[in-house]
């Protein structure tokens, strides 16, 4: 069975840092690209970034140099630095297989 374990909510003061974690069991993160996203209350989802099957990372320009994704064999981390009120959100992660074909559609009117 796949099991995901995340800690309860965390509160920090403006300017402080926080490190979120998610422990996984039942599958290997080394086979997936692990993404962090967030959703501020009343707003849409925001993609923060991802770590690939190794240690390579990519980030949304909005979060570059302030949020950092790392992992070990069974735990995924997201560290946020110099947090501000606008960083208040629910943070999620997801696993995406790099081998899954992606269907891209372009339309114009």
pLDDT digits (tens, 9 = 90+) for 30-88: 889 999 999 999 999 999 999 999 899 999 999 999 999 999 989 999 999 999 999 99
Tokens representing 71 are 């992992």
Count of Cβ atoms closer than 10 Å to residue 50 Cβ: 21
- All residues at 6 or more sequence positions from 21 whose CB lies less than 8 Å from its CB, including other chains: 6, 7, 75, 76, 77, 78
Number of domains in the chain: 1
The verdict on residue 30 lying in a domain is yes
Tokens representing 25 are 């069991």
The verdict on residue 106 lying in a domain is no
- All residues at 6 or more sequence positions from 23 whose CB lies less than 8 Å from its CB, including other chains: 4, 5, 6, 74, 75
* Residue 109's pLDDT band (cuts 50, 70, 90): very low
Supply the pTM of this predicted model. Answer: 0.85
The verdict on residue 86 lying in a domain is yes
Provide the domain limits for residue 56: 3-96
The verdict on residue 88 lying in a domain is yes
Q: CATH number of the domain at 29, please.
A: 2.60.40.10
Quick check: helix, strand or coil at residue 96? strand
Q: What is the pLDDT of residue 44?
A: 96
The verdict on residue 58 lying in a domain is yes
The verdict on residue 101 lying in a domain is no
The verdict on residue 103 lying in a domain is no
The verdict on residue 43 lying in a domain is yes
């Amino acid at each position: 069975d796949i099991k995901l374990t995340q800690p309860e909510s965390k509160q920090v003061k403006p300017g402080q840092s926080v490190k979120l974690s998610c422990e996984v069991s039942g599958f290997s993160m080394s086979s997936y690209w692990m993404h962090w996203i967030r959703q501020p209350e009343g707003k849409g989802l925001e993609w923060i970034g991802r770590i690939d099957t190794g240690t390579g990372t990519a980030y949304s320009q909005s979060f570059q140099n302030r949020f950092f994704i790392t992992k070990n064999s069974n735990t995924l981390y997201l560290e946020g630095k110099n947090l501000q009120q606008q960083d208040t959100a629910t943070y999620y992660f997801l696993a995406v297989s790099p081998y899954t074909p992606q269907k891209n559609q372009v339309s114009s009117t």
